[in-house]
Amino acid sequence: MRKYFHIIISFFIVAILVSCEKKETPITLPAKGDGVAMQVDMGENYEFQFFISLQNNTIVHISPTKNWDLAFSCDPNSHAIFLNGAKLMSAINTHKSNMADVGIADTSDKADAWQYDNASGTIDSTVIGDWKKSNDVYIIKLSNSSNKVRKIKFLSEDIFQYKFEVADLPAAVPTVITLPKRAQYNYTYFSFDFLAEVPDVEPNKESWDLQVTTYNYTFYDQNPILPYVVTGVLLNPTGTTAYKDSITPYNSINADFALAMPLSNHKDVIGFDWKKYDIDKNLYTVDSRYNYIVKTKSESYYKLRFLDFYSASGIKGSPKFEFLQLK
């Protein structure tokens, strides 16, 4: 996929808003510390996501953000299923068990019933949830920008595979899909358009620590509440944990501090709000209050902060950060 874009030795993400873009003006950056700096070019519309290894100071893998619909957990102890938040996908649980009984009428009076995943990465943060406890058919909206929907019923899961039924909403006869669990990856990805697995979305789960991508975040402080696609950093669910600090200066963070912090395995600990957007100036700025402790699966500790969101030519979508190994 590297042929699609230029990679500067850099990294990280963002986004939130903006429909009409003006020419952005670069801003004064904080002085670089003693860590390693990275910057990545996601594309001005955040078309690509990056998987990063802190230990190796490398971009491990790059892939499109919107070429899949569902992510099925490959953890042998999990059956969680996630919607692609980059598309602002949503779903309705019809609470019906027969695929043939589910049709357009199940969406006509439910404009407020569409629900969205939370990016924490736990099964109880998903719209589909613990589907093994029910026998329900779900309706999936494939994006917020179209009315394309599919109905789906999950039939079974074991350490080797998932089995489920898929159909267009008016259709009575579904297609049965079998999707493998691949032990070397966090998720197996599925496309409704092709009714097939989507390969090469992510690299081997042992090879990376952080993912720069787009995903859904719901702003509950808005009235009405606002589901929105944001750009941020997610943790590798296999062994990566983190802590967000808004009090301690970056240069004061050392190994003793890092070892004392309560780390979380929620994927969105770093998230997207390390940047702010000024709608009047049409400008992103880094929120210098926030620093992060990241513990990798190899038991290494890093401190990390963001520096910028613009390329050298002033184009958004090029998050820049620095990090330093503490232990």
Q: What angle do CA 302, 184, 199 make, to 5 degrees?
A: 105
Residue carrying the six token digits 């993400």 = 13
In angstroms, the CA 198 to CA 200 distance is 7
Distance of CA 67 to the CA centre of its chain: 13
Q: How many CB atoms lie within 10 A of CB 304?
A: 26
Token pair of 301 as six digits: 């500790």
Note the pLDDT tens digit of each residue in 13-27: 333 333 333 344 444
Q: Which pairs with CB-CB distance under 8 Å and at least 24 residues apart come from 143-150?
A: 143/87, 143/88, 143/89, 144/87, 144/88, 144/89, 144/90, 144/227, 145/88, 149/107, 150/192
Residue-wise pLDDT tens digits, 36-89: 999 999 998 999 999 999 999 999 999 999 999 999 999 999 999 999 999 999
| Spatial CA neighbour of 323 closest among 73, 26, 50, 58 | 58
Residue 266 CA to its chain's centroid (Å): 12
What residues does each domain of the chain span?
69-233+263-287+306-314
- Does the pTM surpass 0.85? The reply is yes
Q: What 3-state DSSP class applies to 255? A: helix
For residue 302, how many other CB atoms are within 10 A of its CB?
Answer: 22
Using 70 as the pLDDT threshold, list the residues of the chain that sit under it.
1-33, 109-112
Contact 166/142 with Cβ under 8 angstroms? no
Q: Which two tokens stand for residue 149?
A: 């929907």
Please give the Cα distance from 250 to 258 (Å, whole number): 11
List all residues 6 or more positions away from 226 whose beta carbon is below 8 Å from its beta carbon. Answer: 218, 219
106 neighbors 119 (Cβ within 8 angstroms): no
SS3 323: strand
Mean pLDDT (the chain) is 89
pLDDT at 131: 97
